[in-house]
Structure 1
Amino acid sequence: MTELTSAPDQRLHLQLLDGFRLGFGRTPIHVVPGAQRLLALLALRAAPVPRAVAAALLWPEATARRAGACLRSSLWRLSKPVQLVVAVDDALTLDLGVDVDFRRACAFTAEPGANPAAVALLKADLLPGWVQPWVQAERDWWWQARLRALEVLSEKLRSCGDHHHAHQAALAAVQTDPLRESAHRTLVELHLADGNPAQAVRQYQSYRALLRAQLGLEPSPHIHDLMRPLLRSTR
């Protein structure tokens, strides 16, 4: 790990969204793959992780003895020059001083509020390219949670009059799941609220064509009823 010089305005930052990165202020810290996986596992878990569970999850192909040795090696690598992992009885947890972007993003899923800064976190993928089953389980949860949060965020920003960031949130939801009707409907409603019916029609028609091509389905009556007056006027 990179040698660090402490400064009062710096903290340890662990990035899991859009890729793994550990940094101290603006200084990146090199972490070997095994230690990366350990940090990610502890950051994704709210409660301390028993050592045996961590070893089995991180080194599933190894014997229990070998996995335990790998875990001890990773802990040794993470012990200097700063504290990253804390032992609680026979379990491990991430030090409370480490700022984790995924945890901040999860707070937005629980209460999106009307914070434009949430858009960047909510539209990011969790550890892209990581194939471990314990990562995939968290990624599946994150995919659903952020979609719901982006739609709620868009509606709250719109109600506050911030249509620019409301559009960004709705568009991020559509880009995350192009077949999600509620995300398209949120974007259509924003176009209508902006007095841009032509763009609302284009958005609806694009979604309808995609839905037909991908699933052979039609949009629900809910969104069709919203668009019916405009579709009549275009005939």
Structure 2
Amino acid sequence: MCERVLPGNTPPVICVRLLGGFELLVQDEPVPVIPSAQRLLAFLALHEGVVTRSTVAATLWPDASAARAAACLRSALWRLVKPLHALVEANRDHLRLGTAVRVDVHLVRSLMAAGDVVALHPVVPVTVLAADLLPGWTDPWVVAERDWVRQLCLRALELLSERFREGGDHFRAQETAAAAVRGDPLRESAHRRLIELHLADGNPAAAVRQYATYRSLLRDELGVSPSPEIQRLVDPLLRA
């Protein structure tokens, strides 16, 4: 899912995936990584650029003494797999993810920043965009990034849905909008997009069902009602 980062669409040597769970790919083949090395790679991937060794050690081993945390860091570095290019570039005081390593979250962010959201579709599956960052990981540094990454990916799904609708591809437009709803069932903009697509396809009953589902979720979870904007979409149908 990271090949578009390189010139000429050449597949990268190394790819780290964080969406939907940790995975390291070398030449498109999954490579086993021990848990401590997974956390090291994920931390460096989420903190682009140079990070001090002391910061990495203290963050990944917060309950250990400084000396013990430094030793754990050295062990994790030593036990990293050794592919064609360095996974981690290190000197005496600093660490950074290897420049040859591509990261799925970086790809989503860079294409969104460039306004090239359509390029995401053949590279990052819709199901991955709807997935959480490192699900099941409870480290504070992961939790702190998870919501931001989720919002980034949900926004990407909504933009993809709009681009597909503009291009007349209503199947993919609905697919990506539905994925955004699955990613955040309380996200009104995603439900609104699905309702608009059902109406555009001449399926008023599906639009009303989508609205009713969203309204029930809001009342059950938050005790509030949908906004007037989304209500206006279905009011003519409900009155009829």
Whether the TM-score (by the shorter chain) exceeds 0.5 is yes
Change (3 A) 1:120 1:96: farther
Structure 2 counterpart of 1:29: 31
Structure 1 counterpart of 2:214: 207
Change (3 A) 1:163 1:126: same
Cα pair 1:112 1:149 within 8 Å, conserved: no
What whole-Å deviation, never above 9, does each CA across 1:14-50 have from its counterpart, x for those lacking one?
1211111112224332221111111111111122111
Change (3 A) 1:9 1:132: closer
Structure 2 counterpart of 1:76: 78
Structure 2 counterpart of 1:5: none
Verify: 1:49 aligned to 2:56, yes or no. Answer: no
Quote the offset at 1:180 in angstroms.
1.5
What whole-Å deviation, never above 9, does each CA across 1:42-77 have from its counterpart, x for those lacking one?
111122111110001110000011111111111112
Q: Which amino acid aligns with 1:36?
A: Q
Q: Which residue of 147, 151, 171 maps to 2:178?
A: 171
Structure 1 counterpart of 2:7: none
Q: Distance in 1 between matches of 2:127 and 2:222?
A: 30
SS in 1 for 2:117: coil
SS in 2 for 1:114: helix
Runs (5+) with no aligned partner, structure 2: 1-9
How high is the TM-score relative to the length of structure 1?
0.88
Cα pair 1:18 1:124 within 8 Å, conserved: yes
Q: Distance in 2 between matches of 1:67 and 1:219?
A: 49
Q: Distance in 1 between matches of 2:103 and 2:62?
A: 25
What whole-Å deviation, never above 9, does each CA across 1:104-153 have from its counterpart, x for those lacking one?
12234433523433434421211111110001111121122222222222
Cα pair 2:49 2:97 within 8 Å, conserved: no
Deviates more, 1:215-224 or 1:58-67: 215-224
Change (3 A) 1:55 1:228: same
Alignment map for 1:1-235 (pairs within 5 Å): 11-78=13-80, 80-82=82-84, 83-87=86-90, 90-110=93-113, 111=115, 113-115=117-119, 116-117=121-122, 118=124, 119-233=126-240
Quote the offset at 1:173 in angstroms.
1.1
SS in 1 for 2:118: coil
Deviates more, 1:109-118 or 1:121-130: 109-118
Cα pair 1:208 1:219 within 8 Å, conserved: yes
Cα pair 1:191 1:197 within 8 Å, conserved: yes
Cα pair 2:154 2:180 within 8 Å, conserved: yes
Q: Which amino acid aligns with 1:19?
A: G
Cα pair 2:17 2:23 within 8 Å, conserved: yes
Change (3 A) 1:21 1:181: same
Cα pair 1:105 1:121 within 8 Å, conserved: no
SS in 1 for 2:213: helix
Change (3 A) 1:144 1:211: same
Cα pair 2:12 2:100 within 8 Å, conserved: no
Q: Distance in 1 between matches of 2:16 and 2:66?
A: 28
Cα pair 2:111 2:117 within 8 Å, conserved: yes
Runs (5+) with no aligned partner, structure 1: 1-7
Cα pair 1:12 1:25 within 8 Å, conserved: yes
Quote the offset at 1:218 in angstroms.
1.4
Change (3 A) 1:153 1:48: same
Aligned residues: 226
